[in-house]
Amino acid sequence: MSYYLSSESHLDPGPIYVRENGQLHVVNLALDGVRSSLQKPRPFRLFPKGFSVELCMNREDDTAQKEKTDHFIFTYTREGNLRYSAKSLFSLVLGFISDNVDHIDSLIGFPEQIAEKLFSAAEARQKFTEPGAGLRALQKFTEAYGSLVLCSLCLRNRYLVISEKLEEIKSFRELTCLDLSCCKLGDEHELLEHLTNEALSSVTQLHLKDNCLSDAGVRKMTAPVRVMKRGLENLTLLDLSCNPEITDAGIGYLFSFRKLNCLDISGTGLKDIKTIKHKLQTHIGLVHSKVPLKEFDHSNCKTEGWADQIVLQWERVIAEAVKPRETSKPRTAAQHFYGKQSRAEAPLKHPVADTHLNSSEKLQFYKEKAPDCHGPVLKHEAISSQESKKSTKRPFEESETKQNNSSQPSKQKYVCLAVEDWDLLNSY
């Protein structure tokens, strides 16, 4: 006790009691050395200076609650009792990786069966809707699995999705069908330039209806095919309807699509329609259809692949973000998307398109050698009594077209490049 009392470094112990002869006594505080040590008591601190404590009772956040329940599967018995069972190790690992999917280095060489489950788990957690992280995660899947992620993409009338998720859309590779109808892209839009990229050389069906395109846009889209035999060289179906700024000169750029089987140029600004029909049949073998083709009714165009629900998630998130500003602000938010042509001006610039669409004659063409493209024509002609007459005339017409092609000078086999074409190629 003497050591305890003589220790100056120790804190104030308070009153000290001693039992002697069965009686309790208080130790005299006037002992030597004790009074001096107790005159300057030091403050008692449970934690060091600068330490703070926050009371967090009943404030469990969603992540903490999720960590407690994510490892179990809860079910109900027949009696109505709650029963839980532990998840498999594979499910736990899959959930952890999907939560951190944007940190994956590469998925190249990874089994596609497991990758599909990983993609579904990340999609269920809406990881692809997160800005920045969603793009990085999506790029890892597209560069490793290509068309498995998405082989067909329908963005018809989804101009806000294109505006907000342009980089995500550009990350898709090996698409075979792309529908961009009624999106008002314009000639200078970044996505139109991306169509000529090598990553989209697999596109066979392209719908660009009602996109404010002109001859300049068509020239830019066909430049790699005309000069370098790259880009959309595998295109078999093209819809350019309701673009009144496309004239006879713009149709001439389409002759480089040698594999084209179906073409729709209804509602364009053509003047000499008879000459255009003859040139299409002479150069790429496309014949005008007297009935609407089923390939352009957009019934078969849909989003297919692992990411088919991601587009719906994007659209839902964008719609929720636009709801508070439903007055005139959504238009201003997408001004960079439309460029020089605004959506409000679009109806005023379509008098030619409306006259063509309302008329009985649609400018839709098909190639006779492709039976899939003129299914409706064959059904229509099978009922009529003129089928036999037309079948006898077709071989004669084919021989005439071959003779016309052979009689043309050999100069047409070579590509004549203008100064604008060279400037466009240099930009790539």
Hey, what's the torsion of the CAs at 144, 148, 149, 150, to 10 degrees? 130
| pLDDT tops 50 at residue 372 | no
205 vs 336, which has greater pLDDT?
205
Look up residue 34 and give its amino acid: V
User: In 195-292, where does DSSP find H-type helix?
Assistant: 215-228, 248-252, 273-284
- Residue 12, pLDDT score: 58
pLDDT tens-digit readout, 273-285: 999 999 999 999 9
- Residue 14, pLDDT score: 66
Look up residue 419 and give its amino acid: V
| pLDDT tops 60 at residue 316 | yes
- Residue 301, pLDDT score: 78
| pLDDT tops 70 at residue 313 | yes
| pLDDT tops 50 at residue 312 | yes
C-beta separation of 289 from 366 below 8 A? yes
Question: CA–CA separation, 212 vs 208, rounded Å?
Answer: 9
Question: CA–CA separation, 337 vs 99, rounded Å?
Answer: 32
| pLDDT tops 70 at residue 47 | no
For residue 205, which of 237, 173, 239 has the smallest C-alpha distance? 237
Given CA atoms 54, 55, 57, 59 in this order, what sign does their dihedral have?
negative
- Tokens found for residue 384: 């009529």
Q: Is residue 349 very low, low, confident or very high in pLDDT (cuts 50, 70, 90)? A: very low
CATH number of 150-313: 3.80.10.10
Report yes or no on whether pTM surpasses 0.85. no
For residue 100, which of 69, 73, 62, 140 has the smallest C-alpha distance? 140
CB atoms under 10 Å from CB of 172, counted, come to 22
Choose the weakest-confidence range: 100-104, 204-208, 367-371, 388-392.
388-392
352-370: average pLDDT: 62
- Residue 252, pLDDT score: 92
Calculate the average pLDDT of the chain: 75
Question: CA–CA separation, 176 vs 202, rounded Å?
Answer: 6
Choose the weakest-confidence range: 183-192, 323-332, 349-358.
349-358
CA–chain centroid gap for 196, Å, is 17
Q: Give the C-alpha distances (Å, rounded to integers) separating 316 from 122, 155, 310, 311, 321.
A: 17, 14, 10, 9, 9
Question: CA–CA separation, 262 vs 239, rounded Å?
Answer: 8
Q: Give the C-alpha distances (Å, rounded to integers) separating 117 from 211, 216, 305, 322.
A: 37, 44, 13, 32
- Tokens found for residue 38: 């107790």
213 vs 17, which has greater pLDDT?
213
**Secondary structure of 279-310 in the HEC alphabet?**
HHHHHHCEEECCCCCHHHCCCCCCCECHHHCH
pLDDT tens-digit readout, 169-192: 999 999 999 999 999 999 999 998
pLDDT tens-digit readout, 208-264: 999 999 999 999 999 999 888 888 999 999 999 999 999 999 999 999 999 999 999
Choose the weakest-confidence range: 131-140, 336-345, 358-367.
336-345
- Tokens found for residue 122: 């990340």
286-288/364-367 β-pairing: antiparallel
User: Cα angle vertex 170, ends 119, 213, to 5°?
Assistant: 140
For residue 44, which of 8, 3, 12 has the smallest C-alpha distance? 12
Counting DSSP H helices and E strands in the chain, the numbers are 19, 11
| Domain extent listing, the chain | 86-146, 150-313
C-beta separation of 333 from 256 below 8 A? no
Q: Is residue 75 very low, low, confident or very high in pLDDT (cuts 50, 70, 90)? A: confident
| pLDDT tops 60 at residue 157 | yes
Question: CA–CA separation, 416 vs 403, rounded Å?
Answer: 23
User: In 235-374, where does DSSP find H-type helix?
Assistant: 248-252, 273-284, 310-322, 329-333, 335-338, 351-358
For residue 205, which of 329, 337, 294 has the smallest C-alpha distance? 294
C-beta separation of 245 from 215 below 8 A? yes
- Residue 49, pLDDT score: 61
- Residue 8, pLDDT score: 47
Residues 6+ away with beta carbon under 8 Å from 55: none
